[in-house]
Chain A
Amino acid sequence: MSKLRFKIILLVILLTSVLAWVIFTQGPLAPVKVTTEKIQTGNLVVEVFGIGLVEARHSYDISPVMTGRIKSLLVDQGDRVRKGQVVAILDPIDLDEKLASSRLIAERSASSIKIAEAELVQAESQSRTISSTYKRYVELHSKGFVSQEMLDAKLNEKTAALAALDVANASLASAKRDQLKAQSDAAGMKSLRNQTRLLSPINGIVTETMLEQGVTVVPGQAVLQVIAPTDLWIKTRIDQKQAGMIKAGQKAIIVLSSHPQTSISGTVERVDLISDSVTEERIVNVSFADPEINSSLGEYAEVTIKLPVQENARSIPTAAVKRINQQDGVWVLQNSRARFVPVKIGIESLDGRTQILDGLRDGDEVIVYSQQAIKEDLKLKIVPKIVGN
């Protein structure tokens, strides 16, 4: 065989081998690459994540109790206010006149009382006089000096005088009550007049002025909002599935969207009793450890709550845990094939490890990553990693 022929045959064999290699290692005939890990024991850091909005624990919408027009706003957004401080004034319109009118009525009723008292004195004196006169006439009548008619007439006078006395008493009482009523009215009018001055209920900061001067307001319509600035917390939404172990007092790490690089510490203050059933979330309120935090209301925050560390937990990467026919399990490598092993899982950490309570032995090779979905009859090949980083 000539040298050239030999070389050519060698080349043909080479090409055929290349083709065969290509067919059997790439494409559908090649084995599926997988990576495996064994179960690891260690401390599992358990955390729960949620996002929330920064809110004031207590916020007060200040609104009038009557319809009116805003005469002046005395504070602006960001102003500090004290408890009881006047923050806005409504236009009194006719309230001043009504107040004056009720005062005058009260004064007039005082005069009416004087009149009634004078009339009572008069009626008393008259009735006294008539009573003693009648007594004399009775004596005189018994001695026969006075006629029956005169006695009756005097009796009549006495009765009339007594009646007049009653009237005078009643008039006085009525006048007194009138006065009380007028005084009440006046006090009420004054009260109402006071309502034109809106007061801050707490020491705090004005967060929002909803309306401007000159605007007409109805009862219940908020004019200003005031909050206590050191009383902020984050209303965090946690998936109901993960919220079971959250308790007040647990520590949390907060990242505000205005300072994405800074981690701020916080504490779980309260877990709301009522959850959001539509979004299936629980509301967890987390306060700042340092009350002097510079954040805006309504700002987004990412909250990570730290639950107690699970010690000596046996865990595998969460990526290895599959759920088939509602059964949790993992694929274990045996003789280049995979076998589905049901397991009982415990907690899942946020960084991707799942606690295995039962079902796996220490030496089991658990399939973590694969090039395609694992099935029982696939040929597999272990590689250190599937995607280089």
Chain B
Amino acid sequence: MINLASRDIFHSWGKFIFTGVGLGLLIGVTLTMAGVYRGMVDDAKVMIDNAGTDIWVVQQDTLGPYAEPSSIHDDVVRDILGQDGVMEAGNVAYLTMQIQQDGKDVRIMLVGIEQGKPGEPAFLVAGRPITHSHYEALADIKTGLTIGERFQIRRHQYTVVGLTRRMVSSSGDPMVFVPLKDAQEVQFLKDNDALLNDRARTTVNPAFNRPGVPGLLDSVLANQITSHMVNAVLVRIKNGYDAEAVAKQIRRWKHLQAYTKDQMEEILVAKLIATASKQIFMFLVILAIVSAAIVAFIIYTMTLNKIREIAVLKLVGAGNQTISSMILQQALGLGLIGFVVGKTAATIWAPLFPKYVLLIPGDAILGFILVMLMCSLASIFAIRAALQVDPATAIGG
């Protein structure tokens, strides 16, 4: 017995491929949407993994430093270093801001780090780590900055000396690492106009500007511009110690909060991106349903176009099974072409998206199974129509 489905496909292969490509693009969009969702979750996870940290110490009663602002003194790190089980600890400062690059505004997360302490990027793709105590930066390639390029933040120019990859904030903004002191100045020190304004206000305040006390005003002004706060302390614990146990110890000091890696992940994934990811997931479901509907429509139409041939086949003795399997095989073939086209298209255009799109093999396999299922179900409508054809219609009037 010859395979009717393959004959039909080969005969009108152009139409078939064309339809397959169209379906494939739709499947590609659906796969990409799944990739966007996974990318969002991965953005959150990779930031946590990249920190190379076991415990985040932040301001008490906050979900910081990423989900909420957190502000602690920069000498807290010394006390933490003395805690049992703590191997390394380092101050970090985080600030989401915009810089100018090539005339465009680039949104970045400015990270203040101390050389050799937790918070420093674990690997580079070019250049060298920061060696100068000020005004050098490591930039993620997603910023578009190159080695040697300079950019301005507030009062100073920074030179890019190294590049990183996939160092992004939980919302996908690329990170730029600078020395901690510079980041503190950026975050807690205001721009020139604001500083002058504050200075003027303090100067006219008689409480701070007493004539009988020389030097008082200068001291007050100096105090206003010192910045000794950071957003978090990143902690690495010694081998053999339990992160939660050490974190509990740190929490016992009532003015600090400490989160382990798992808790941080939960905060980011479950809380920070929960709404966005739910939205995307819903969209994904709708896309899948739409794709299924379109596949059903396509297959139904293809079958209806063959009504006369089906009537003739039934008349000359082709059974229901022969006709059903022809339609089903065509549907599955269409699905296969669609899937191949869709997966290839998704892989090719994924890097072009502004945010990270993660296509994992598991999703592809699941997608393949769903596409095949969808095609099978869709073909049911067509098969029903085909089986209902009366062979008598082949015999005219």
Contact = CB atoms under 8 A, between A and B. Distances in A.
A binds B: yes
Given A49-B133, A238-B133, A387-B163, A371 B344 contact: no
Interface in B155-184: 161-163, 165-166, 181
Contact of A221 (B124, B162, B214): B214
B214 A326 contact: no
A163 interface: no
Nearest to A281: B133
B358 to A, nearest CB: 8
A273 B395 CA distance: 112
B347 A319 contact: no
Contact of A49 (B10, B75, B131, B347): B131
A325 B364 CA distance: 38
Given A16-B340, A49-B133, A318-B131, A218 B10 contact: no
6 contacts: A8-B13, A16-B340, A27-B360, A323-B116, A386-B126, A387-B165
A312 interface: no
A19 B129 contact: no
Given A5-B10, A28-B360, A351-B128, A322 B344 contact: no
B344 A318 contact: no
A40 to B, nearest CB: 14
B217 to A, nearest CB: 11
A16 B337 CA distance: 10
B128 A319 contact: yes
Interface string A373-389: 11000000000011101
B88 A326 contact: yes
A29 B347 contact: no
B211 A216 contact: yes
Interface string B229-264: 000000000010000000000000000000000000
A50 B179 CA distance: 12
B123 to A, nearest CB: 5
A239 B122 CA distance: 22
A26 interface: yes
Contacts of B161: 352
Interface hub of A28, A317, A387 (most chain B Cβ within 10 A)? A387
Given A23-B361, A26-B347, A369-B123, A352 B10 contact: no
A5 B129 CA distance: 59
Interface string B125-155: 1111101111100000100001100000000
B197 to A, nearest CB: 20
Contacts of B127: 319, 352
B87 interface: yes
Contacts of A352: 127-129, 131, 161
B359 interface: yes
Given A49-B132, A239-B133, A352-B161, A387 B126 contact: yes
Interface string A287-300: 00000000000000
A29 B122 contact: no
B271 interface: no
A370 interface: yes
Contacts of A5: 10
A contacts with B: majority SS: mixed
A220 interface: yes
Contacts of B135: 51, 302
Given A28-B360, A221-B214, A319 B124 contact: yes
B228 interface: yes
Given A49-B133, A278-B75, 14 more contacts: A4-B13, A8-B13, A19-B340, A23-B347, A49-B132, A218-B212, A218-B214, A318-B128, A325-B239, A351-B128, A352-B129, A372-B165, A372-B166, A387-B141
B348 A22 contact: yes
B314 interface: no
A218 B134 CA distance: 41
B133 A348 contact: no
A319 B360 CA distance: 30
Contacts of A49: 131-134
A325 B87 CA distance: 8
Interface string A319-337: 1001101100000000000
B326 to A, nearest CB: 18
A15 interface: yes
A366 to B, nearest CB: 13
A64 B22 CA distance: 91
Contacts of A27: 347, 359-361
A224 B212 CA distance: 17
Interface in B329-362: 340-341, 343-344, 347-348, 359-361
Contacts of B116: 323
Contacts of A374: 123
A261 interface: no
Contacts of A372: 123, 165-166
Nearest to A321: B129
A322 B124 CA distance: 11
Nearest to A9: B10
Contact of B87 (A18, A319, A326): A326
Contacts of B88: 326
Nearest 6 A/B pairs, CB to CB = A352-B128, A221-B214, A49-B132, A386-B125, A319-B124, A387-B126
A371 B165 contact: yes
A326 B81 CA distance: 13
Contacts of B146: 389
Contacts of B162: 319
A197 to B, nearest CB: 20
Contact of B131 (A4, A218, A279, A350): A350
A222 interface: yes
Interface in A338-358: 348-352
B54 to A, nearest CB: 12
A302 B136 CA distance: 12
